[in-house]
Amino acid sequence: MVVSAGVDMGTQRVKVVIIKDGKIVTQKQNYSGFEPSKVAEQTFNDALKTANISSEEVQHITATGAGVGMVLFANSTISMMGADAKAGTYFFPTAKTVIDIGAEDARAVKCDENGVMIDFVVNARCAAGAGTFIEAMGRALEVELEDIGPLSLKAERASPINASCVIFAESDVVSLIHKEEPKSEIARAIFDAMAERVSSMVHRLGISPDVVLVGGVAKDVGFVDSLKRRLGMEILIPEEPLFAGAVGAALIAARRAQRRQ
Amino acid sequence: MASEIETGTKYIPEMSKTEIEELNSSIKEASIKVIQDNIERMKKAWKNRPKAMEYFDGISNFFGQREKELKEQKQAGKKIIGYSCIFAPIELILAADAIPIRIGSGWYDTAKLGDRIMPVEICPVIRSTVGAKMVRLSPYLELSDAVIIPLTCDGRTKLSEILSDYKEIWRMNPPRVKDDPHTLGMWKQEIMLIKEKIEKLTGNKITRKKLKNAIDTMQKATKAFRRLQELRKGPPLINGRDAMLVNQTSLWDNIERWTEKVNKLCDELDKRLEKKEYSSYPETPRVMITGTPMIWPDSWKVPNLIEESNPQGVVVVDEQCSGDRILYDPVGVDEWTTHDMFDAVSERYLMACTCPCFTSEHGNEDRINWIMDRIKEYKVDGVIYYVVRGCILYAMEYARIKRVLDKMGIPVYYLDTEYTREDVGQMKTRVEAFLEMLEARIEI
């Protein structure tokens, strides 16, 4: 029996996944706040409790994510891209491209049939392709974050937004509001602009199907719809896309535990 | 004509003497710290660092022994000829008894000063070189009696204008297509014009014998360089950033002394090869760097990241005009006649160069071939394609080089950055993911 854990310390949330013999037993997440190390440990203990597993039973813990260094109790680390590739192929064995969109960054990974990453591209300098973009635009539109997606699906066309930078796009959105454009069309424009950035990033890598989308933003129906249209193909999304990084890390941890046995 | 334009239309803004002095001393102090920090890191990463490296550590200090020597030689009547890029024919400078020295700048702090007259979109190598001039930071540029600036890219073209506010600038106009029938002849004329300027400045004639000696000196340097490179082809005997420092110091050191010291280093490394005393474990992922020149000391942030990453990589070869491109090719002479020697010098500086300023029917063929050959020779596992923002030629060639490398099955990562220390965290994530990928491939 192999029990392992993956901890994904993202820019907004910490995610913990525990895996037993290749199957996910628990997944827990929390806002990482101002004491990320502490929160990570609490979340981990929480996950152990739910799974009814003692910390001694966990053979290996692998950490990943932008704050990987804050996970003090991890035995090893893996890059976010390596974790994405592993998780993408775990959920969908036919996956060749995994797109991960988190709060602050977007990335795409190409992987082989073993879930080993063979190429990747990161959009880390600009938030326009990432989750915080939707948050900022939601503020401008005065719409709750989870309502923007469904709202955008009501639109048949998108308002024109030219700017691809969060700051400039916000002022674009404000002037559209002043022109009294329907909110739904503005919302769609926001997702289209974001999908445009993500798709040009993926194109730099070269798209090979099947394409898997993970990360918190994969739960946003509005963005998914725009990205599908932009890429012109189906996108596979796991049930809990937010946990993909932690799942990948836990799978890597399992392999490392086995290797040590 | 010119006189009407000249008055009051210089590029560089007026700065008070106090401001210049204050900035000069604070940036200089910061730079000395960066140099020391780099050396400390290099020592820490390579426990058993050869004694011979100490010499290069010393000469890597811009504000030390070499500056002093140059000042003394200048006082004794020697001329110093700066150059911005390796299109400048070093042999001709040496043959006229002058001292060649490269003046391109790697200081991040001075790039910010360059922002006062140029938008931030401009290549930081240019902004930094101009900024260094504004506060008289670079001893090599300050001591130069004239500066050769080949107009390879747009940045350097305008750099030649800006620096001409201060210095005698000699422009060279390299052709962009190598294989047109008139190209070589045109370039030879550029070379002969520079020869005349060098002779006029120094008052020394470039005779047959002197040119032969200069070519000979540089051939010996190439031989020493190639000896070091040969040692980088097998399991790691030297960390990449140490070898990169050795190669780059050839741009400002006395070249004969440099050659001798490189041979000493190689003697030490030869012994280690016999004893299998490697600088990192033999399966360390082998990395090639290509792209924008990586100028000491601040740009060492990239090789530092690669060689301190977890998993660790080792830079075994680079394709950069700040590194392996400097001395890779010797001037090849058939007949030691004056005419033939000048022909050979012209050919070497044009044809052997793999600068992205060139183009042809098949793209930048020579650069692509060079990269492909070195990947095979040095058993490269992956390529880091390094580009600073605003470096248009390298940025644009990437897509094609990536296709070539994809075909060869060699992973490549486009590492874009700026003259800043702020992005080290983000870069670390990307470099580590890349090395992890290379390591996974090696394991399989």
Per residue in A128-151, pLDDT (tens digit) is 678 888 888 888 888 988 899 999
Q: What is the pLDDT of residue B444?
A: 67
Per-domain boundaries in chain B: 10-443
A80 touches chain B (CB under 8 A): yes
Pair of tokens at residue A247: 């799942």
Cα A247 to Cα A249: distance, rounded to the nearest angstrom = 5
Residue type, A3: V
- pLDDT score, position A166: 67
Q: How far apart are CA A192 and CA A211, in angstroms?
A: 18
Query: B430: nearest CA in chain A?
Result: A122
Average pLDDT of the segment spanning A46-52: 95
Interval A159-171: pLDDT, tens: 877 766 667 777 8
Cβ of A104 under 8 Å from any chain B Cβ? no
Nearest CA distance, A68 vs chain B (angstrom): 10
pLDDT of B186 above 50: yes
Predicted model pTM? 0.89
Helix (H, G, I), strand (E, B) or coil at B153: coil
Cβ–Cβ contact A81 with B under 8 A = yes
Which of B402, B428, B429 to mutate against chain A (most A CBs within 10 Å)? B429
Q: Are B258 and B327 in contact (CB under 8 A)?
A: no
| Angle at CA of residue B130, ends B129 and B133, nearest 5° | 90
| Alpha helices (runs of H) in B7-117, residue ranges in sequence order | 17-45, 53-59, 65-75, 90-95, 108-114
Cβ pair A81:B310 closer than 8 A: no
For B430, the closest of A118, A119, A122 (CB atoms) is: A122
Provide the CATH number for the domain formed by A94-237 in this structure: 3.30.420.40
What does the alpha-carbon distance between residue B319 and residue B273 come to, in Å, rounded to a whole number? 25
User: Which residue in A119, A121, A205, A207 has the most chain B C-beta atoms within 10 A of its own C-beta, making it the best mutation to test that interface?
Assistant: A119
Mind listing the pLDDT tens digit for each residue in A184-211? 999 999 899 889 889 988 988 888 999 9
Please indicate whether the domains covering A1-92+240-261 and A94-237 agree at the CATH topology level.
yes
**Summary mean pLDDT of chain B:** 95
The beta strands (E) that lie in chain A are given as 3-9, 13-20, 23-31, 60-64, 76-77, 97-101, 106-111, 117-123, 211-214, 235-236
Taking the C-alpha atoms of residue B124 and residue B204, their distance in angstroms, rounded to an integer, is 36
Residue B1: pLDDT band with limits 50, 70, 90: very low
Q: Do B426 and A114 touch (CB under 8 A)?
A: no
B411-to-A157, B136, B398, B400, B402 alpha-carbon distances in Å: 40, 42, 13, 14, 8
pLDDT at A160: 79
Q: Quick one: which of A15, A22, A26, A21 has its CA closest to A51?
A: A26
- Whether B436 has its CB under 8 Å from any CB of chain A: the answer is yes
- Domain A1-92+240-261 indexed as CATH 3.30.420.40: yes
Domain boundaries, chain A: 1-92+240-261, 94-237
Mutate to test the interface with B, among A117, A123, A256 (most CBs of B within 10 A): A117
Q: Is A122 on the interface with B (CB under 8 A)?
A: yes
Q: Are strands A106-111 and A97-101 parallel, antiparallel or unpaired?
A: antiparallel
Separation between Cα atoms, residue A44 and residue A73, nearest integer Å:
10
Chain A: give the shortest CA distance to residue B307, in Å.
Answer: 17
Using the Cβ of B444 and the Cβ atoms of chain A, whether some distance falls under 8 Å is answered with yes
pLDDT-derived band at A172 (thresholds 50, 70, 90) equals confident
